[in-house]
Structure 1
């Protein structure tokens, strides 16, 4: 990215290219009449789909002259850009909007608006369709090019999504108290060397060191700031219907992934029923095996597809069942029927990091020392322990080839109480 003003002036003098777009701004009163909102959205999305770049508003693309924008209109332009990024681009585009002073050819100082557009983790669609940037112009993507881009930015890429860098973040957002827990006696003494070796940071395509997706998910207190849907949405309902009127408890569970796992299990433990009978001594029967619940939540958090924008893990607790929705299809060539027999990890790096996190859940019956063991025992535990407790086998379903749903049935009350 170009930072010094002198370097930016040199680039303006050379004109537009793949990473620089120049535009003048026209007003009618306080209303922006040019460029058109849809056209601006197409330009921003095309750049995000292609390469990290800069858009400068207030510079003529033909003459390269710095026209500037009225200083009293800067806030109007900023609001206009925010609306375009959030409302006209799908998924919404995260870019940096800055008001900048720059020197024109006569030595005067003029205000322009600078938009730093990162190469996105996602494929963006704008009002005109799906665009990419070729040289100084945008071009619609042919179906084969679009399919290839989706593949590159999905689980099938050579560099897995959980190892991708987040270009809007800096390494100092990673909290030492969180990443130091992954150190061992064999780890490099140098912090940066250690972070790179663990792939918590990596160089982006411009050679700048950035946090990776896994770094943000495991070593920041609020990963949802950079990955908006990286949390668990938990809801407990009274009865058996998904109805807001019957909602008993709800929580958006955020934090590092190991914290999300712990808090999701606590949510279920807090809201499920525990039945007690005297035969002759008191015997307690929970609705759900917490060991099975733990394995289910770990699988959802560790194996979800974090590249899918707008989808979060959903945990719905009813009187008669638990439903857990995890974004993403089944990895590789696995099927629903083979889940209990085969092992495949979508997020290898995340799985290895969770395998270094000590158990933080009271999962009764678990023999784990660490959150993940990577032996593929999770699904068999979910099935056998849940079926033993409730008499019903848990069910996995793939919804629209985009979301995996697990239903764990609750144990019935020994008193014959109605689940509602």
Structure 2
């Protein structure tokens, strides 16, 4: 069940409402709770959603049974409404409404619907425990995870600030906004803007709302565009030796959904291909970098870039042997870019992430990096490489085959990770740097590097064994 479907379910005919909620699958933005849930347990769920991108909690459903809330009585309902004040610090902001339903016994009843806003700071229980919504779970965070969340909450809410320049709903693309309203099943455009926190509590349009639905957001955010570049050779070159095609530099503007769509269409035309026989026995162009991999990278860049950083934009560079995607903003908090699969789910722009999920632009966000790895591995290519600079993150998707099973069996475990690290490095790396980047001991790094050298896959440059400037790099082919 996609995130926007819960809104449609909650506005369905009353006799159908309960059964449809029972069938609804819990996800990043939706959870069901029994009518007997305790205030403390509800508080944990409220915190988890507030610390992520917000969401909806329906109380009064247990398993396959529509319990309803009438039997619980007014005192019990009020206790749940006060769960935020009684159990969370600072109190989580939410709206609570009662929606009619038919309970399991056929009687008229109500469910409690909590709509949780993304928090502006980290929320915790009164005992100090902190939770984060990850997929369909409310996960308790350890100290370092909590610290990471603290570091990033300050910049996470830029998309929730009121947009400057006096822009209002009248400045939005009506066709795009109406399409979104239809997909979510909302009764009005203004209603869904409020529901997705795209309007402030004072009714002002947020940065996220303008970036997503503005007629031309670049009037207020001149660097909020995607630049696609296409090169003739595997190196960029400079000056007179610049390897850029004459028509190979295109700037794509517009609201985020349109920009992603237009950029994807252009990349698909320009992406490097090889001719191969299809099932019909005809020669067709086949992407050498999987489409699903670079598309997920593009979507992640547009959703998670730092829009508060002026003076930079998203760049997609297409080479004959690879695609590189660079976006402004670093990984959240304490994240180690050399271990991208360990990155926990956290959206810098929670409102933008939620709307893009509603529009089915991206898959389950937070699974994006994992999916990129899976797509590359599925076709036998080396793992994606992330490199973090002072103010940006670059993703490199290279059409280089992973080590064959025969070679991999001869090498120490973890040798592929060393190759991937050197492939993505901006310059040669010393043994100690390789060890630190991969979180292994220096002897382990030496063992893997020497084995790769014996296979002719890497080279060592140094004047002597004790040369402090000695470094490793990929072997030159040919």
TM-score when normalising by structure 1:
0.53
Kindly provide the CA deviation profile for residues 371-393 of structure 1, in whole angstroms up to 9, marking residues without a partner as x: 13335221122123224436322
**Contact 2:181 2:188 (C-alpha < 8 Å) held by counterparts:** no
Report how far residue 242 of structure 1 moved. Answer: 1.6
Match of residue 347 from structure 2:
345
Structure-2 change in CA distance of 1:189 and 1:392 (3 Å): closer
Match of residue 166 from structure 1:
163
Q: 5+ residue gaps in structure 1?
A: 1-153, 358-369, 413-418
**Contact 2:156 2:350 (C-alpha < 8 Å) held by counterparts:** no
**Contact 2:272 2:318 (C-alpha < 8 Å) held by counterparts:** no
| Residue 218 of structure 2 is aligned to residue 195 of structure 1 | no
How many Å separate the matches in 1 of 2:156 and 2:298?
A: 25
| Residue 364 of structure 2 is aligned to residue 374 of structure 1 | yes
Match of residue 273 from structure 1:
272
How many Å separate the matches in 2 of 1:183 and 1:228?
A: 27
Aligned-residue CA RMSD (Å): 2.8
SS in 2 for 1:170: coil
SS in 1 for 2:153: coil
Matches within 5 A, 1:11-410: 156-157=153-154, 160-171=157-168, 172-183=170-181, 189=187, 191-202=189-200, 209-243=203-237, 245-248=242-245, 249-278=248-277, 281-282=281-282, 284=284, 285-341=286-342, 342-357=344-359, 370-389=360-379, 391-400=381-390, 402-410=391-399
SS in 2 for 1:276: strand
Structure with the higher fraction of residues in helix conformation: 2
Equivalenced residues, count: 243
How many Å separate the matches in 2 of 1:392 and 1:217?
A: 35
Larger CA deviation: 331-340 vs 291-300: 331-340
Larger CA deviation: 274-283 vs 339-348: 274-283
Report how far residue 344 of structure 1 moved. Answer: 1.6
SS in 1 for 2:269: helix
SS in 1 for 2:362: coil
SS in 2 for 1:252: strand
Kindly provide the CA deviation profile for residues 315-372 of structure 1, in whole angstroms up to 9, marking residues without a partner as x: 1111121111111111233222443243221111101000111xxxxxxxxxxxx113
How many Å separate the matches in 2 of 1:279 and 1:350?
A: 39
Kindly provide the CA deviation profile for residues 53-102 of structure 1, in whole angstroms up to 9, marking residues without a partner as x: xxxxxxxxxxxxxxxxxxxxxxxxxxxxxxxxxxxxxxxxxxxxxxxxxx
Structure-2 change in CA distance of 1:211 and 1:287 (3 Å): same
How many Å separate the matches in 2 of 1:233 and 1:185?
A: 29
Larger CA deviation: 323-332 vs 178-187: 178-187
SS in 1 for 2:320: coil
**Contact 2:381 2:399 (C-alpha < 8 Å) held by counterparts:** no
SS in 1 for 2:197: coil
Kindly provide the CA deviation profile for residues 172-207 of structure 1, in whole angstroms up to 9, marking residues without a partner as x: 21222222233269866455444333322325xxx5
Report how far residue 310 of structure 1 moved. Answer: 0.5
TM-score when normalising by structure 2:
0.47
Match of residue 361 from structure 1:
none
SS in 2 for 1:291: helix
Structure-2 change in CA distance of 1:190 and 1:183 (3 Å): closer
Report how far residue 294 of structure 1 moved. Answer: 1.1
**Contact 1:237 1:243 (C-alpha < 8 Å) held by counterparts:** no
Kindly provide the CA deviation profile for residues 212-234 of structure 1, in whole angstroms up to 9, marking residues without a partner as x: 11111111231111111111111
Kindly provide the CA deviation profile for residues 97-143 of structure 1, in whole angstroms up to 9, marking residues without a partner as x: xxxxxxxxxxxxxxxxxxxxxxxxxxxxxxxxxxxxxxxxxxxxxxx
How many Å separate the matches in 1 of 2:304 and 2:181?
A: 23
SS in 1 for 2:340: coil
